[in-house]
Amino acid sequence: MIPEDLRYTDAHEWVRVTGDDADHVVRVGITDYAQRQLGDVVFVQLPEVGERTVAGVAVGEVESTKSVSDLFAPVSGEVTTVNQALDDQPELVNSEPYGGGWIFEIRLDEPVEQALEGLLDASAYGSLTNQT
């Protein structure tokens, strides 16, 4: 399951544009592929609202019954919102990776098109994960 309307990183995060281009806000989560590799998610360390992110730099962690994995910022900007529901229900990352299991939102430092330029489309991500 690789939604066509998202962009992806090779570290298995996804990015969805949430508003119009003028807002420069995107929502971030981990992919279905990533959550299956992790197993049952038991804790998500969320970034802080107001925290500055740099693309490719760790901003949190996802802990599962198998391992702890860094959560990387796919784009640069400022964290505007975090998914507080994950504090009580981290398993949403498993059950709804592209819906209720989203992790945080970022207001981009640059226009959306520029910020997403280096990310993978669904086809490229499918090739990366052998899901074509």
Structure confidence by residue, pLDDT tens digits, 54-112: 999 999 999 999 999 999 999 999 999 999 999 999 999 999 999 999 999 999 999 99
pLDDT at 21 over 80: no
Total count of residues recorded for the chain: 132
The band of 132, judged by pLDDT with boundaries at 50, 70 and 90, is low
The band of 29, judged by pLDDT with boundaries at 50, 70 and 90, is very high
**Alpha helices by DSSP H, the chain:** 32-38, 85-88, 92-95, 112-116, 122-128
What is the average per-residue pLDDT within 5-21? Answer: 90
Mean pLDDT, the chain, rounded, equals 94
